[in-house]
Amino acid sequence: MGSAISELPSHRTPLADAAETGLKIVVVGGFGVGKTTLVRSVSEIRPLNTEEVMTQAGVGVDETGDVATKTTTTVAFDFGRISLNERMVLYMFGAPGQERFWFLWDRLFSGTLGAVVLVDTRRMDDSWYAIDRLEHHRTPFVVAVNRFDDDTVRHSLDEIRQALALPEHVPMVDCDARVRESGKNVLITLVDHLYELAMAQEATP
Amino acid sequence: MTRKPVDTGSPDRLYTVTGGRSRADGFFDLVTLVVSECRPTPGMQSEHARTLELCEHPTAVVEIAAELKLPITVVRILLGDLLDMGRITARHPPPTRSAASLPDSDLLKEVLHGLRNL
């Protein structure tokens, strides 16, 4: 995780004054799979960390209750950004994939364009829940396999597709989350997929 | 994930910052871009002043939260105040669609173009 060499400025880099459209995508996956590494490799800013405090109910906190006795959960997440042009900026959120965070995920990332599921072949079980929830919410996604150097048993994408029971229409891509070009390729794979879906949808009245 | 939760057990600071309110109306998306319409004035609540400084250039809600080191819910409340006072304007993301529908293909084409040109 620490091997990505960051040349990003430490001070704040403001967006262009003409920036008007913020877009978002989510990177999900198990702990230690390289979500933040991927975000860092493509982001124009050093990834920032923020948090959301929510009630277990998952709806707005009621106004009359006693704040001190509420059951709240804090979820922290990292994000980075890419200025696509003078007007559009894409935010990438690294979201914890564990089951216990998913009711938070639903609220935090509503309106996302799509998702990248980052997979570590040594711990494929970690991807199940994320894929299941994305399918449930009909959030379009691609699966990116982060190839670690010490991955001695190198499974093919087809083998991984079978292991994850992924339908044919879900694109898969190999990546090295530390490498900018590779991370960029993952994002392009996702947006290409979204574009194809949108075109198909627009063709059927 | 090394930061400690701000809130667990001791919400006093957040309670003070928001004047006791704990509900945001959801008007501000994570990626709504906020722009200041004026400079901070003397006597202004420090979080308001800091937000106005940050938003001299367009700044996403999530970046404001990260810079102020406050939870997003709290930042939404602060931004609601500033908006009511006419001190900021908000540039919203494309309208929220139902979960199953996709953004416009023209928009996606522009995103693709931007990514390929990186």
Q: What is the DSSP letter of A97?
A: -
**How many domains does the structure of chain B reveal?**
1
**Alpha-carbon dihedral A49, A55, A57, A62, rounded to 10 degrees:** -130
Task: Report angle CA A132, A89, B14 to the nearest 5 degrees.
Answer: 75
Task: Report angle CA B84, A50, B102 to the nearest 5 degrees.
Answer: 75
Inform me whether the C-beta atom of residue B114 falls under 8 Å from chain A C-beta atoms: yes
| A198 falls within a domain | yes
Report pLDDT for B15.
61
| B7 falls within a domain | no
Beta carbon pairs, A and B, within 8 Å: 173
Chain B window 46-75: which residues touch A at a Cβ cutoff of 8 Å?
54, 56-60, 62-63, 65-67, 71-74
| B4 falls within a domain | no
Give dist(CA B8, CA A190) in Å, integer.
37
- Residue A60: pLDDT band (50, 70, 90) is very low
**How many domains does the structure of chain A reveal?**
1
More confident residue, B77 or A8: B77
Report pLDDT for A122.
85
Minimal C-alpha gap between B85 and chain A (Å):
21
Report pLDDT for B44.
92
- Residue A134: pLDDT band (50, 70, 90) is confident
Report pLDDT for A130.
85
| B102 falls within a domain | yes
| A163 falls within a domain | no
Give dist(CA B67, CA B54) in Å, integer.
8
Task: Report angle CA B63, A12, A53 to the nearest 5 degrees.
Answer: 25
Q: Which residue has the tokens 């990626």?
A: B31
Mean pLDDT of A92-101: 77
C-alpha gyration radius of chain B: 17
| B33 falls within a domain | yes
Report the SS3 class of residue A193.
helix
pLDDT tens digit sequence for A73-84: 778 889 999 999
| A160 falls within a domain | no
| A138 falls within a domain | yes
Chain B window 32-51: which residues touch A at a Cβ cutoff of 8 Å?
32-33
The boundaries of the domain holding residue B26 are 12-116
The boundaries of the domain holding residue A120 are 21-61+68-150+168-203
pLDDT tens digit sequence for A181-203: 999 999 999 999 999 999 998 88
Report pLDDT for A64.
45
Give dist(CA A114, CA A189) in Å, integer.
11
| A15 falls within a domain | no
Minimal C-alpha gap between A24 and chain B (Å):
7
**Mean pLDDT, rounded, of chain A:** 83
Spatial strand order of the sheet with A88-96 comes to A48-55, A72-83, A88-96, A21-29, A115-119, A141-146, A172-175
| A36 falls within a domain | yes
Kindly report the pTM of this predicted structure: 0.85
| A185 falls within a domain | yes
Phi, psi for A22 (deg, rounded to 5): -95, 130
- Residue A143: pLDDT band (50, 70, 90) is very high
| B88 falls within a domain | yes
| B23 falls within a domain | yes
Report pLDDT for A17.
95
Region of poorest pLDDT, from A121-130, A155-164, A193-202, B13-22: B13-22
Q: Domain with B98 in it: what CATH number?
A: 1.10.10.10
| A112 falls within a domain | yes
Residues of chain B short of pLDDT 70, as ranges, are 1-17, 19-26, 96-101
Q: Which residue has the tokens 């799979």?
A: A33
Strand partners, B33: B60, B91
Does residue A48 register a pLDDT over 50? Answer: yes
- Residue A150: pLDDT band (50, 70, 90) is low
Does residue A31 register a pLDDT over 90? Answer: no
- Residue A55: pLDDT band (50, 70, 90) is low
Report pLDDT for A170.
97
| B2 falls within a domain | no
Mean pLDDT of A46-58: 75
Q: Domain with A127 in it: what CATH number?
A: 3.40.50.300
Does residue A111 register a pLDDT over 90? Answer: no
A53/B62 CB distance under 8 A:
no
Q: Which residue has the tokens 């309110």?
A: B21
| B51 falls within a domain | yes
